[in-house]
Amino acid sequence: MSIRAASRAIVPDPVRTQRAFLEHHELTGATWSLDVAADAAAYIREGINVVDVDGFEAYAYTPYDEFVVINANALAAAFFLRLSKRTDDEGLTDRAEELFEFVLHAQDDGGAWYYSMPASESHLSHDNFHTGFVLESLREYVETYPSDERVREAYEDGLDFFVRELFEDDGAPKFESDRSYPYDAHASAQAIITLVRSDDDDAQDVADDVYEWTMEHLYDEDGYFYRRIGRFFDDETPYIRWSQGWMTLALATLAREAASDVESGAESGRLGVGETE
């Protein structure tokens, strides 16, 4: 294992872990969890390496390397933007907008993003769940600034690529746009989260297919999800982090969106959750 790979393996993901504290504050109003989220943001801004990429100050993946991962910068941007609404920290807003500019710059003409920049150093091309992270982050910006047509267009172009290129006809989540296997529970989960939050009819249809495929192929009758289906071998280990946690979040997001549809008087029954007659 290379030094870069080893450092990435042992350093926890500060963006994902801190967002849990922000969401806890949003749900409960607890000040302590907001303080933790603010401290995490300060750590990202002060402790993570910053790398110049085409004139943009992007974050490296860890404090120990200069490997620039696009989805990590998108997630940081969305977190800063969301946190700024709770703290009135203009510095967070400014930094979020800088990072979103970098994410838009990294999008290719087809609407997709490589895993890292420069693309020549990316060990993944246009993969499934990391693309979902980017789209989820851009959605946060679009919902905050609905009049910004440039970012909305980038989001819609990315969503169109996601829907067209990263799923099989039956809803199985392709690992990359040019590679089907392995079919991964993390990709299924993030796809559901990303797609059900959009207002695009095609995306909603694909979300239906992903849910149905996942429950048929990755769900075990004993009540857990397999990690992945490979071309030759399957991994049926019930990983808490990679499978159960993500699928729990996906199903909760799905149920919340279905309940919101019912409450707003919209047609319900999406993916068989919350159906009413």
- Assess whether pLDDT exceeds 60 at residue 168: yes
Looking only at Cα atoms, what is the longest distance across the chain? 57
In the structure encoding, which two tokens stand for residue 166, read together? 């990263």
Q: Is 24 exposed, middle or buried, given 0-12, 13-18 or 19+ CB atoms closer than 10 A?
A: middle
23-81 per-position pLDDT tens digit = 999 999 999 999 999 999 999 999 999 999 999 999 999 898 899 999 999 999 999 99
Calpha distance 79→20 (Å, rounded): 10
CATH 1.50.10.20 fits 13-166, yes or no: yes
pLDDT tier at 264, thresholds 50, 70, 90 = low
pLDDT for res 257 = 87
Calpha distance 51→72 (Å, rounded): 13
Beta pairing class for 56-59 and 228-229: unpaired
195-210 per-position pLDDT tens digit = 999 989 999 999 999 9
pLDDT tier at 16, thresholds 50, 70, 90 = low
Calpha distance 118→124 (Å, rounded): 12
The domain locations on the chain are 13-166, 167-263
170-188 per-position pLDDT tens digit = 999 999 999 999 999 999 9
pLDDT for res 10 = 41
**How far is C-alpha 111 from the geometric centre of its chain's CA atoms?**
16
| Whether 107 contacts 158, CB under 8 Å | yes
pLDDT > 90 in the chain, percent: 78
Q: Name beta bridge partners: 234.
A: 229
| Whether 33 contacts 22, CB under 8 Å | yes
* Number of CB atoms found within 10 A of residue 29's CB: 9
